[in-house]
Each structure stands twice: as C-alpha cells, then as structure tokens.
Homo-oligomer: A and B are copies of this chain.
Amino acid sequence: MRTLVLGGDGYLGWPTAMHLCAAGHEVSVVDNFARRGYDRELGVTTLVPIAPLEQRAWTWQRLTGRRIGIHIGDLTNAEFTHRVLDEVRPDAVVHFAEQRSAPFSMIDQQHAVYTQVNNVVGTLNVLYAIAQVDPTIHLIKLGSMGEYGTPNIDIEEGWLEVTHKGRTDRMLYPKRPGSFYHLSKVHDSHNIEFACRAWNLRATDLNQGIVYGQETSETVLHPDLATRFDYDAVFGTVLNRMVVQAACRQPLTVYGTGRQIRGVLDIRDTVECIRIAAESPPAPGEFRVFNQFTEQFSVLELAQLIARLHPFPVRIELTPNPRAEAAEHYYHAAHRGLLDLGLRPHLLSDTLLESLFVIARRHRRHADPRLFEPTVRWSPAADRVGPAVQSLVA
C-alpha cells in the first residue's frame, strides 16, 4: 500500500515513515521543518543529533534499498496539500504534522493562535484534498489523550453511549482539555467527524498517550536514522526529560503533587499502532477512534521508577505546577481497539529504561540543564500582545 506521512521529519513521523517502509509500504513524507524552527526560536535542541531529512532518506535507501519520497511544504497552503495528495495518491495519510507541545501553545497569545491556526487549517486542507482527490483515502490523525482532560467517569474510545431522560444516543465523548494545543486537536476531531459524516470520508483518530523512548528497529541502523530526543520543558515528554535530568545528576522535577495520571507508550508501539491502523482501515464514512497508550502511571510513579532503577542516586523534586490541571483526579481510560487489532505492547520494563539511560549518558554533554526548568506559565502573559494572525502562518 501507499502511505503518506505528514510531519515525516519529526520525533515520531520519521520513525513511522521508516517502520512503514520496512513493512512494505511505499512511503512518502511531507514536512515544512516547523519543528526544527521551534528549536531555533526557543534556543533548544535535540539531545541526540539528527541528520537533515534528505540525508536521512538517502542513508535509509542506501542501507535498505527502499526509497522514501520527500515533499517539502506547508499544509496550511491548500494548493500544496492538494498537489501532494494528487501526485502521491496514497491509500492512507498519516497526519503527525501539527504543533504538538502544550507549553508552546501557552507561551502567549501569538503561540496560542499559531498553534490553533496551524493545526486546524492544516487538517481542514487535508480533509478537502482527500475529498477532492480520492474520498477513499484513509486519514490517520494523531490526537492526544490530553484531549479528554480528567473526567470523573471512565474515558472511552472517542464515543460514549449516553442515556438521558429515557432515551439513548451514541455521542462524541465530551472533552475538556487543559491547553490551547490540546484544544486544537479537539477542534480537529470535530472537523474530521463532520467530514466523515457529510462527505463519507474514512478516518482513524488516534488519541495518543505520552510517548517515551528514542529507538526503534529502524532508527538504530545508522546514526543518520536517529530521531529527536527532546528533554526541554517545552517539547520534552515527561519520562524522556526525567531520564536526561538523571543523567545530568539533576533532580527529577515533578509538577505539583505528581499525582496527575497519564497514559504512556513506548515509541516502538507508536510506530506499530500506525501500521496496524493503516492496514485495517475503517469503512467509508466511519470516524474511528482509538486510545493509543499501553499503561497508565502517575507522574510521581514515573519519577520513582527512574529513581529506583538509575545506576546512581537521583533526587525527586516537587515544583509548583505551571499548568492549570487537577492535582488529584479519577482516571480510567479504555484502550482496547488497537490491542484487538493485534498490538503487542512493549511495557515500561527495566530493559527499556536501561537503554534510555545509556542514550542519555552517551549524549548528556549536549544537555543544557537550564532547559529543564518550566518557564511557561498557564496564565496569560499580561505584557505580551502579538501582531495580527497574518504574520503567524508562515
């Protein structure tokens, strides 16, 4: 099958592109290098160096004999998006191409607006391009478990059967997320569900937990194939960041009480979930939702796990929570769909953490400990007002 990976230069997009290619898909990727741009803007960098996209694809081809097509451009440009889909004519479009950091979206008004415009308009353009080029193309859209927030009832997979005053309906699961980034994905989900209903498109919305790890079977083949390892407070996912803190002999910073519960998954499961979803498409008109995580832990439990297994002693430090979120809450989320389709999870075992410790140790000289500090507050920065939206969509 032919698969187009949007955001194919990113932390998960690049490993997914290789994984699908190794599984026999004809793979093309799209990227506008926005993620590398955020590095420059924030003065941060990936702990593990990454090669330019062209070099990644070239090395991949040299080692495996398989080509990954590259399209450089911005999905907020509708003509570009339409042209790429028309040229590639994929069976599935895997859509990672969104600004994916909650703190980034909360920096100020400009970053909130940029995040929502970039994510929502990109996805709208993908929907129009699919509808116009070939409505049977399967859209696989990366969402986030954070979209649900922390309701006091069980979280189901995207839909909820509601009985009210003696009548019943299957409703979209109500969402109350905690950042303008997560809200952008809630908006996407509503737009996609409408396109499935009104235009008979087919889509899989993958509400992903927090991904940890940095290596897959493909990234380890050559240093040119490595993917990003973000450890800063804006883009670093919590477990990855704390592993680097440990390697740098810094305290593991836990926000608030650390009793916030999160679904997590191994990067090797992310790429496999995408393959599974792509190879088992939903019916035309179906808006299918999977919760893409394998285990749930409190943030404090993750810190304690690292502290327990780390080769030298590390300290856990509770810091005031910069986010607006519940300190303690009920959390029980379904995640049957991908297991039923055959996912065999890598659980958070000593082995994985050991290998992460090795990576962090090997590269720790590149780490800037100042970047561990959460500097983005969830309150609206009173002194920053941005320009009109025009200049934000570049």
The smallest beta-carbon distance between A118 and chain B, in angstroms, is 9
A154, B160: Cβ atoms closer than 8 Å: no
Rounded to whole angstroms, the CA-CA distance of A175 and B110 in the bound complex is 28
Chain B residue, CB-CB nearest to A132: B382
Rounded to whole angstroms, the CA-CA distance of A177 and B125 in the bound complex is 19
Residues in B whose Cβ lies below 8 Å from that of A160: 162, 164, 174
A197, B174: Cβ atoms closer than 8 Å: no
- Interface presence of A255 (CB below 8 A): no
Q: Given that A174-B162, A194-B177, A197-B324 are known contacts, is A385 also in contact with B79, CB under 8 Å in the complex?
A: yes
- Interface presence of A172 (CB below 8 A): yes
The smallest beta-carbon distance between A100 and chain B, in angstroms, is 18
Partner of A389, one of B112, B117, B156: B117
Rounded to whole angstroms, the CA-CA distance of A191 and B105 in the bound complex is 13
Rounded to whole angstroms, the CA-CA distance of A164 and B128 in the bound complex is 36
Rounded to whole angstroms, the CA-CA distance of A388 and B121 in the bound complex is 10
- Chain A interface mostly: mixed
Residues in B whose Cβ lies below 8 Å from that of A168: 152-153
Q: Given that A76-B389, A390-B393, A393-B389 are known contacts, is A176 also in contact with B152, CB under 8 Å in the complex?
A: no
The smallest beta-carbon distance between A361 and chain B, in angstroms, is 38
Partner of A167, one of B110, B153, B172: B153
- Interface presence of A63 (CB below 8 A): no
Residues in B whose Cβ lies below 8 Å from that of A173: 174
Q: Given that A160-B164, A199-B380 are known contacts, is A393 also in contact with B385, CB under 8 Å in the complex?
A: no
The smallest beta-carbon distance between A331 and chain B, in angstroms, is 12
Of A22-30, A178-186, A212-220, A312-320, the one contacting chain B is A178-186
* Contact mask for chain A residues 110-125; partner B; CB cutoff 8 A; 1 contact, 0 none: 1011001100110011
A388, B74: Cβ atoms closer than 8 Å: yes
Q: Given that A174-B174, A385-B79, A389-B393 are known contacts, is A379 also in contact with B121, CB under 8 Å in the complex?
A: no
Residues in B whose Cβ lies below 8 Å from that of A110: 78
The smallest beta-carbon distance between A112 and chain B, in angstroms, is 6
- Interface presence of A340 (CB below 8 A): no
B151, A113: Cβ atoms closer than 8 Å: no
A154, B176: Cβ atoms closer than 8 Å: no
Q: Given that A190-B186, A385-B79, A389-B393 are known contacts, is A176 also in contact with B162, CB under 8 Å in the complex?
A: no
A193, B176: Cβ atoms closer than 8 Å: yes
- Interface presence of A310 (CB below 8 A): no
The smallest beta-carbon distance between A74 and chain B, in angstroms, is 7
A380, B197: Cβ atoms closer than 8 Å: no
- Subset of 8 A-B contacts with CB under 8 Å: A113-B124, A152-B167, A153-B162, A162-B174, A176-B194, A179-B194, A180-B191, A390-B390
